Amino acid sequence: MRRWAGVLLGQRARLRWLHLILGGALFMPYWLVGTVVMALLTGGGGMLAGDLGTRFGAYAVGLPLAAVTALFPPARPMSVAAARALCGVPAERFADGPARGRGARARTAGWFALHLGAGALVSGASLALPPFAATVAALPFVPSLRESEAVRDWGLDGSPWVWAAVPAALLMLLALAGAAAATGALLARRAPRLLGPDPAERLAAAERRAAEAEARNRLARELHDSVGHALSAVTLQAGAARRVLDGGHADPEFVREALTAIEETARRTVGELDRALGLLRRGEEAVEGVGPGLDALEALVRGAGPGVALTVDGALGPVPETVSREAYRIVQEGLTNAARHAGGAPVTVRLGARAEEWEIVVENPLPARPPAVRPHGGRGLPGIAERARRLGGTAGAGPADGVWRLAVRIPR
């Protein structure tokens, strides 16, 4: 009993009933136009005059008019907003934005006519049936009602059957609730089909989600490279300064250089982090403007410590912004790996400009013992390879001629 009560009068059923009442209210202008048309066709006297057939004729005239007005683009967002709030259908099953194609507009028109047509019938019943049911239920208790001509025609005046009016009135109200619940459920089942996205819209949504995911992944790579390098560089410089101080022979100049490198690295990384977080706060999808380029490479190498040397072979010339930014990140990640695994050994960074490609090489001596491998692997080298592939280039890393060499080639 409780389950059926929830189906007929629960919150979802009440919201769907309200949705139908809204449809009936929206249908009123079309019905009034239909009554004018029927009055002209039948020679009726007034807008609201006429028998039941004339009024259903006005209903039949109003439905096509409603469907025609729903062909305009704003009809779908309005219908989707109402259905999302009141029909109890998951929001992701609806399409976003106005209907663009012919098929989408036709489905929207079908939904609009269905919503307004069903809503008009349920609204009319909701307005007329409860007062009638209350009157019927009052028959056993109000003698003046039993003396009416209709009751005498039924033969109920003075008959014990008059008491059957009470359960009959309750059945009327239950029938109204059942009809409203069934109609609301029908609209809820049809809503995703008529207001949902078509194949082209689903494809566009999938492409948009893929672009957003790619933007998030790229932003994650930027943060990983920037913060990871900063932490490695700061750790290396701080450790070197501590060893000098603990060695018993103070070298103030070396310690000053290490602290200066730590300060520059931290300041540069905070700026990059602020830019990246600013993009996240603004909800922007593109991250093309995040991060420094090759013009900041000298500061990067200087912050990595005195054991890092930078050489440039050939004239780099004007470098595209994307290539400049990605090259900076590749060098940054290469220095991070060297700081993590080379144990303070000298590191060489070489940029080469050839006729057909740019070359980035980062080398450091192989450590005496193999470096510790992280349980789940790192993201540094795969990230470098991904950046190189994005620019149409290649990346390779491994031992060669007694050194660990990272070599990246990017076509010009």
Cα separations in angstroms, 167 against 14, 34, 130, 355 = 23, 37, 14, 95
The predicted pLDDT at position 332 comes to: 84
In whole angstroms, give the CA distance from residue 372 to residue 368: 12
Query: What's residue 280's pLDDT?
Result: 64
Segment 179-204 mean pLDDT: 89
- pLDDT surpassing 70 at residue 230: yes
Say which residues have a Cβ less than 8 Å from residue 79's Cβ, sequence separation at least 6. 70, 108, 111, 112, 115, 195
The residues, ordered by sequence, that sit 6+ positions from 270 with a Cβ below 8 Å of its Cβ are none
- On average, the pLDDT of the chain sits at 81
Residue 362's beta-bridge partner residues?
349, 406
Does residue 388 register a pLDDT over 80? yes
Q: What is the pLDDT at residue 120?
A: 95
DSSP per-residue codes, 274-296: HHHHHHHHHT-S--TT-S--GGG
Pairwise CA distance, residues 143 & 184, whole Å:
39
Pairing of strands 308-313, 347-353: parallel
- Single-letter code of the amino acid located at 185: A
pLDDT bin (cut points 50, 70, 90) of residue 187 is very high
pTM, entire model: 0.56
Say if CB 309 and CB 346 are below 8 A apart: yes
Of the pLDDT bands very low, low, confident and very high (cuts 50, 70, 90), residue 286 is very low
Q: What CA–CA distance (Å, rounded) separates 312 from 260?
A: 25
The pLDDT tens digits of the residues spanning 197-209 come to 887 777 777 777 7
Residue 271 or residue 153, greater confidence: 271
Domain boundaries, the chain: 2-197, 205-411
- Model pLDDT for residues 104-157, shown as the tens digit of each residue: 899 999 999 999 999 999 999 999 999 989 988 888 787 777 666 666 656 555
Residue 154 or residue 382, greater confidence = 382
Lowest-confidence region among 11-25, 35-49, 82-96, 281-295: 281-295
> Is the domain 205-411 a CATH 3.40.50.300 member?
no
